[in-house]
Amino acid sequence: QASAAPQRHSPEDARRSRTPPGGTYMASSSSERVPVTVLTGFLGSGKTTLLNHILTATHGKKIAIIENEFGDVGIDDALIQKTSKFSSEEEIIEVLNGCLCCSVRQDLVVLLKGFAERAAAGELKLDAIIIETTGMADPAPVAQTFLIYDEIKAFARLDGIVTMVDAKHVERHLDAVKPEGVVNEAVAQAAFADRLLLNKTDLVTEADLARIEARLRGINAFAPIRRCSRGDVSVDS
């Protein structure tokens, strides 16, 4: 599992963490670094279904998907083709469309530094990286990984946080009463997001969707909301 600091972070902390002091990096230009998307959302929201679409679609991009192995549904083994091209402590699999898939068991930093070393040696060229977090995970420590370590900053940049929202059950999560001092994870994940994917729209009515979107905009007025069903979203979007 991706290493994470034990403390809680507020959405404002995460937004501040994306811009380092001075606003610049001593690293490669933004256009040269690999864009990284952190994918978050409650278990069952459709994150893994979305990832399976990316691993099977014909999009011509080489995308590394880093999957937390504690997800409710794993990447479909029938879709993947094992290769000896990469060898490390982590299991890294190249699938038929050229994307990479791996499960983080120990340290995300070690895995990313390994990618950076391979890229520097000319052994690996990635168009993008997607990191899936667990359903209850705070995405802030993962986001901060791309601000703390020089080797990683020179190789990759945080492009944004995408939160997958389950249209069928999100209101129950938003309304959950938490003990004093405990963050409502569903609210925090919506607040963190740069983009919101409202999934399972086929399971609710148009009136439900309008109400849910209004609630999400009340939490995060800046993140665009994209409706989808069965996690079917274009890679380019």
The residues pairing with 199 across neighbouring beta strands, listed in sequence order, are 166
pLDDT surpassing 80 at residue 155 = yes
pLDDT surpassing 70 at residue 21 = no
* Mean pLDDT rounded to a whole number for the chain: 77
pLDDT surpassing 70 at residue 29 = no
Q: What percent of the chain has pLDDT over 70?
A: 68
pLDDT tens column, 83-119: 334 434 445 655 555 566 666 655 788 889 999 999 9
Helix (H, G, I), strand (E, B) or coil at 95: strand
Contact 217/191 with Cβ under 8 angstroms? Answer: no
Contact 212/170 with Cβ under 8 angstroms? Answer: yes
Average pLDDT over residues 6-30: 46
HSE-CB of 110 using CA atoms within 13 angstroms: 13
pLDDT at 109 (0 to 100): 86
